[in-house]
Structure 1
Amino acid sequence: MKYTVDKKEQYVIFTPMEEKLDSSLSPVLKSELLTVLAEGYQNLILDMANVKYADSSGLSALLTGHREYSRSGGIFIISSAQDHVKKLVQISMLDKVLNIVDNLEEAAEAIFIHEIENGSAEEEEED
C-alpha cells in the first residue's frame, strides 16, 4: 500500500495513495493506523482525497481507526472523502459514528476543538 504520513505537533495526516480501499489493502491500513497510534500520536486525519472506492473491509479499517483513537483519548477524522466513499458511509449509517469533514482545514480545526475540550475535561478531573 502506498501512502504518505505528515507528522504535525498535535496530529498526523495519513494519506493513502491508492484509488481502492478494499480487502487487499484494508489490513495494511489498519496496521499502519495502529502503528501511528503506538508512536504516541493520539489524533489522526485520514486524508481520503485519492480513494475513489471502498468496500466493507475498507469501512472496517475506518471503524478500527475510530475505535482505537477514541479509546486513547484522541480523535480520528476522515477528510476529503470522495462521493462513493461518502455514500457507502451514509448507507451503512456510519456517518453518525465517524468524524467526517470536507477538507484538511476543517479536520485541523476539529482536532483543535477536541484538544481544548479534552484539556478542560482533564483540568476538571484534577480539581
Structure 2
Amino acid sequence: MKYQIELKDDVLFIRLQEDLIAGPLTQQLLAGVDEQVDNNVLLCAIDLSNIRFMDSSGMGVLVSLLTKFRNRGGELVLIKPSDHIRKLLIVTKLNAIFTIAENDEYASQFLKESIY
C-alpha cells in the first residue's frame, strides 16, 4: 500500500493506492492520522479510487480510522471506491456506517456540514 496525506481546508485527505492490507505502512498511516487528530483535525476523506484489493485487515483500518474521528466529534467519508471495494462494503454491511462521496468537493462539503 502507498498513501499520501494532505490537509486542505481543515479536511484531512488520505489518498490510498494499490492494496489495502496490513503491513508496516498501515501502522505508519495510523500513526500519522493519530498525530493529525491530536492536532484537532476532525474531518477526514479517504480516497479509495486507486485501491485494487482490500482484505479484512484493510477493512479494520477503515473502521479504526472512522472510530478515531467520530470519538473526537468528527467525521470520515470514503471517496469513490471501485466497484470491487463497494461490493465488499455491501457484503460486510460496512456500507451502512460509511458515507461514500464521488469526488473531493462532495466529500469536503458533506464533512463540513456534518459538524455544524
Which structure has greater strand proportion?
2
Structure 1 stretches of 4+ with a deviation exceeding 6 A read none
TM-score by length of 2: 0.87
- How many residues are treated as equivalent by the alignment? 115
Q: Is the 8 A contact 2:2 2:18 kept in 1?
A: no
The 3-state SS of whatever aligns with 2:115 is helix
% identical equivalent positions: 23
Distance in structure 2 (CA, Å) of the matches to 1:28 and 1:61: 12
Tell me what 2:102 maps to. Answer: 102
Tell me what 1:4 maps to. Answer: 4
5+ unaligned residues in a row in structure 2: which ranges?
none
The 3-state SS of whatever aligns with 1:73 is coil
5+ unaligned residues in a row in structure 1: which ranges?
117-127
Shift of 1:61: 0.4
Shift of 1:11: 1.1
Tell me what 2:21 maps to. Answer: 22
Comparing 56-65 with 102-111, greater Cα deviation is found at 102-111
Alpha-carbon spacing, 1:31–1:84, altered in 2? closer, same or farther (3 Å): farther
Tell me what 2:32 maps to. Answer: 32
The 3-state SS of whatever aligns with 2:110 is helix
TM-score by length of 1: 0.81
The 3-state SS of whatever aligns with 2:50 is coil
